[in-house]
Amino acid sequence: MTDEKIQELWEQYTGLLRSTNRPNIENLIKWLDESDFKIAPASTQYHNAYKGGLLQHSLNVYYCLFDFKTIIDFMEIPQDTLILTALLHDICKAYCYVETTRNVKDASGNWTTVPYYQFNEWLPWGHGEKSVILILQQGVYLNDIEISMIRNHMGFTEYDDSRRVGKLFRICPQSNLLYYADISATMLFESYDGPQRFIEKIKLGGRNLTECMELLKKNHTIESMGTKYELAPLDAVVDEKKIIEVPFNGTMVKVYAPYGDGLPF
């Protein structure tokens, strides 16, 4: 992502935060601005694994919340709660990613250096709870519902006591919404197979999944780590010879090994 695009997203992000008029919100914005939050990836490989990916993911989650507008209206969740919980749920990832490089072969078989992120958390305080702690440290008040939403935004996908997660979902059903929005943003818009299975189906005039896959396979290739690959079917068996997996847009994608020997280059 370009620096210009990151700045554009940052202005949108901070504008939304300021619109909440929450006391001490400027303290939090300053902390985020001085951290690596704006340029950090959202993950090392699963989704938005690129510069600015975390900032973009946070905005994606906010906009995905409005897919559940009927429930939001029924629960009477205020706008400032939606903004704060969506935009701040993953600030725990600030200061966690280290940009490094690794050597891979390009399409011509030449070794080239490409950027690569490693996860190196310096304060392992948890995930959702860590975001809550960081927000409160900057003096921004969160009510019980907001704390519950941020704390539980990983839902049952987190390595946590499922009884605690389920109990909090029951006590604070609003926390389900942030979880749904986070999953929607990650799986539908920020992963390889989400857009392929859903967005392309709409663009292709309502054809069924099988027809869409056949059309996409005809001339569909990706570039990963400097090498172009032909996509394999989503249901292909990874045998590490003909079919391998390579990282692409934050997830692992099934492709045909270029030389049929299991090596990615």
Neighbouring-strand partners of residue 119:
97
Q: For residues 17-26, b (16+ Cβ closer than 10 Å) or e, as one string?
A: beebebeebe
Single pTM value for the model: 0.69
Digit-by-digit pLDDT tens for the chain (265 residues) are 788 888 999 999 999 999 999 999 999 999 999 998 998 887 776 677 788 889 989 999 999 998 889 999 999 999 999 999 999 999 999 887 888 877 877 777 788 887 778 777 788 878 889 999 999 999 999 999 999 999 998 888 777 778 888 899 899 999 999 999 998 888 777 765 554 444 444 443 444 445 544 544 555 677 766 688 888 876 678 887 888 877 765 456 778 887 765 554 4
Residue 120: DSSP 8-state: -
